[in-house]
């Protein structure tokens, strides 16, 4: 905002009163107590902070209200620009089974599965038999693995369906489910999309996000090791087609499941900027948040598909706190090709109210091997005293043969985390 000459207003909760963003913004408004429901999810409080400061627009970031269609609608009704797609698109893509149908109609390859939602285990079982086991049972309002179960046979289907549906009712007050063919150990590859208000849509390459711990991404990289330029062009065109099918505006992500033989399937669309967007910024040289603000202000995309190219290799490593605590000492790595995004400072108290992610280390190299070496060095230099983190684990992960060879998929964590934890316990360190 400062680079664009735009005055910024930060909203913060009482627990975040000393936070960096509140100190760095031109203005800061307290929107409520620590618990998210009373502050960062409190729509009325955020809208009134916008009104009282006379702000024109809200950037919702990721998490919290960033994919809440009701909030986007409320902004529209209050004449506040929501920096993202329209409430209608958020709503449509947030309904995962409707999103599938929309993409099927657009001719986008979708994971084989149910054409319409299912509400009972009986109907689900009929669907599963048609599709063929194993199947993935998913919640239409789900995402990030919530309300999702794998069923490998008729015998275990009903129990898994009921468990997934109960999770969905509890988590999203929605019992709408759908069934997909289970793709064995795919790679989770997502394409960054950017669309303006004039119908221009470009893709900005892919991010391989297969290394996930319980559906929480821990490491993301671009480009994906196994995607050839031809396959990238094909997947990119499908991603653009998917975005154009819904007249997509602003930043978005098309998530695909990629099979070893190069077959790829649309899984879901995220209607927000993602935590891992810096990986794409580093290999394309495009400031995605700046583009988001420009597009929301009604300006045209100043990127064309032709002049968008992926150069070099970027890897993001998420640093998570294992416990709350006060940061006693802090040293961030730096140097060529090292980018750190963090709200930490010495004396800052890592609060128990919010997400455990406390920093992102993004490294860029001219090759994947150079990026891996740079990530190892950056993790060795990183010092965070006062809270326990996953720094050492992630450092060792970069020495695992599957990671080094880049031949991993969504099964990486399940297959390798025990071995890496053993190395950690045995105090294996690499100098
Ligand atoms: C799948 C799948 C395989 N087959 N769907 C994970 C959460 C949400 N983004 C959808 N996810 C998946 N959906 C079908 N039909 C594999 C994943 C998946 C995954 C599954 C289990 C463990 C880790 C995973 C990491 C990424 C994606």
- 145 Cβ below 6 A of ligand 1: yes
Q: What is the mean pLDDT of the segment spanning 98-112?
A: 97
Tell how far the Cα of 47 is from the centroid of ligand 1, in angstroms: 35
Active site residue 405: no
Per the CB < 8 A criterion, the answer to whether 363 and 371 are in contact is: yes
Residue 265's Cα: distance from chain center in Å?
18
Is any atom of ligand 1 closer than 6 Å to the C-beta of 139? no
CA 411 – ligand 1 centroid, Å: 10
What is the rounded average pLDDT for all residues in the chain? 97
Q: What is the pLDDT of residues 193-239, one digit of tens each?
A: 999 999 999 999 999 999 999 999 999 999 999 999 999 999 999 99
Q: Is the CB of 269 under 6 A from ligand 1?
A: no
What pLDDT is recorded for position 290? 98
Sorting pLDDT into bands at 50, 70 and 90, what band is 35? very high
Quote the ligand 1 centre to 312 CA distance (angstroms).
28
Q: Is 363 exposed, middle or buried (0-12, 13-18, 19+ CB in 10 A)?
A: buried
274 CB contacts (<8 Å, ≥6 apart)? 62, 190, 253
Mutation choice for ligand 1 from 94, 109, 186, CB with most ligand atoms inside 8 A: 186
E strands in 41-170: 57-58, 81-82, 135-139, 149-151
Pocket test for ligand 1, best of 128, 131, 143, 188 (most atoms within 8 A of CB): 188
Q: Ligand 1: distance of its center to the CA of 184 in Å?
A: 9
145 CA to centre of ligand 1 in angstroms: 7
Q: Would you call the peptide bond into 141 cis, given omega within 30 degrees of 0 as the criterion?
A: no
pLDDT above 90 for 407: no
First to last CA, the chain: 41
Query: What pLDDT score was predicted for residue 121?
Result: 98
Cα–Cα–Cα angle for 47, 53, 55, rounded to 5 degrees: 70
Q: Catalytic residue, from 100, 187, 207, 272: name it.
A: 272
* pLDDT for residue 431 is more than 70: no
Q: What is the pLDDT of residue 211?
A: 98
Strand order of the sheet with strand 135-139? 149-151, 135-139, 177-181
Is residue 410 in contact with ligand 1, taking CB distance under 6 Å? yes
DSSP bridge partners of 189: 208, 256
Q: Which atom of ligand 1 is nearest to the CA of 181?
A: 15
Query: Given CA atoms 50, 51, 52, 54 in this order, what sign does their dihedral have?
Result: positive
Q: What is the mean pLDDT of residues 123-144?
A: 96
Whether the per-residue pLDDT at 430 is higher than 80: the answer is no
Q: What is the pLDDT of residue 429?
A: 73
Q: pTM for the full model? A: 0.97
Least confident of 139-153, 189-203, 280-294, 375-389: 139-153
In this prediction, residue 218 carries a pLDDT of: 97
Residue 77 has pLDDT above 90, yes or no: yes
Q: What is the pLDDT at residue 144?
A: 80
Q: Could you tell me if the CB of 211 is within 6 A of ligand 1?
A: no
**Does the CB atom of residue 131 touch ligand 1 within 6 A?**
no
- For the chain, what percent of residues have pLDDT higher than 90? 97
The whole-number pLDDT of residue 55 equals 98
Answer yes or no: is the C-beta of 235 below 6 A from any ligand 1 atom.
Answer: no
- Residue whose CA is at the smallest distance from ligand 1 atom 6: 145
Residue 61 Cα to ligand 1 midpoint, Å, equals 24
Average pLDDT over residues 362-391: 98
Tens digit of pLDDT for each residue in 316-371?
Answer: 999 999 999 999 999 999 999 999 999 999 999 999 999 999 999 999 999 999 99
């Amino acid at each position: 905002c400062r680079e664009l000459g735009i005055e910024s207003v930060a909203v913060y909760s009482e627990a975040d009163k000393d936070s960096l963003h509140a100190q760095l913004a031109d203005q800061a408004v307290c929107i409520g107590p620590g618990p998210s429901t009373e502050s960062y999810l409190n729509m009325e409080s955020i809208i009134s902070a916008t009104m009282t400061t006379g702000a024109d627009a809200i950037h919702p970031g990721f998490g919290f209200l960033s994919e809440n269609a009701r909030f986007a609608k409320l902004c529209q009704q209050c004449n506040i620009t929501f920096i993202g797609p329209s409430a209608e698109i958020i709503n449509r893509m947030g309904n995962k089974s409707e999103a599938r149908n929309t993409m099927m109609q657009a001719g986008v390859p979708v994971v084989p599965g149910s054409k319409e939602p299912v509400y009972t285990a009986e109907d689900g079982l009929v669907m599963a038999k048609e599709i063929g086991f194993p199947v993935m049972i998913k919640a239409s309002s789900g995402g990030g693995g919530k309300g999702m179960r794998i069923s490998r046979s008729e015998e275990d289907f009903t129990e898994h369906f009921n468990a997934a549906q109960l999770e969905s009712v509890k988590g999203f007050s929605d019992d709408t489910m759908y069934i997909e063919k289970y793709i064995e150990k795919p790679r989770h590859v997502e394409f960054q999309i950017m669309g303006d208000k004039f119908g221009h849509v470009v893709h900005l390459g892919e991010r391989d996000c297969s290394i996930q711990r319980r559906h929480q991404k821990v490491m993301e990289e671009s480009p994906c090791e196994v995607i050839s330029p031809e396959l990238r062009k094909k997947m990119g065109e499908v991603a653009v087609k998917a975005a154009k099918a819904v007249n997509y505006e602003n930043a978005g992500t098309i998530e695909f499941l990629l099979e070893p033989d190069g077959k790829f399937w649309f899984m879901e669309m995220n209607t927000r900027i993602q935590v891992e967007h810096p990986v794409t910024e580093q290999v394309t040289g495009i400031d995605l948040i700046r583009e988001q603000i420009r597009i929301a202000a009604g300006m045209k995309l100043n990127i064309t598909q032709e002049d968008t190219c992926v150069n070099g290799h970027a890897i993001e490593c998420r640093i998570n706190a294992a416990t709350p605590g006060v940061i006693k000492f802090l040293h961030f790595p730096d140097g060529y090709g090292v980018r750190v995004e963090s709200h930490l400072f010495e004396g800052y108290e890592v609060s128990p109210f919010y997400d455990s992610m406390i920093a992102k280390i993004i490294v860029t190299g001219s090759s994947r091997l150079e990026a891996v070496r740079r990530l190892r060095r950056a993790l060795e230099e990183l010092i965070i005293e006062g809270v326990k983190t996953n720094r050492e684990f992630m450092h060792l992960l970069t020495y695992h043969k599957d990671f080094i060879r880049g031949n991993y998929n969504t099964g990486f964590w399940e297959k390798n985390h025990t071995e890496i934890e053993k190395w950690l316990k045995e105090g294996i360190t690499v100098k």
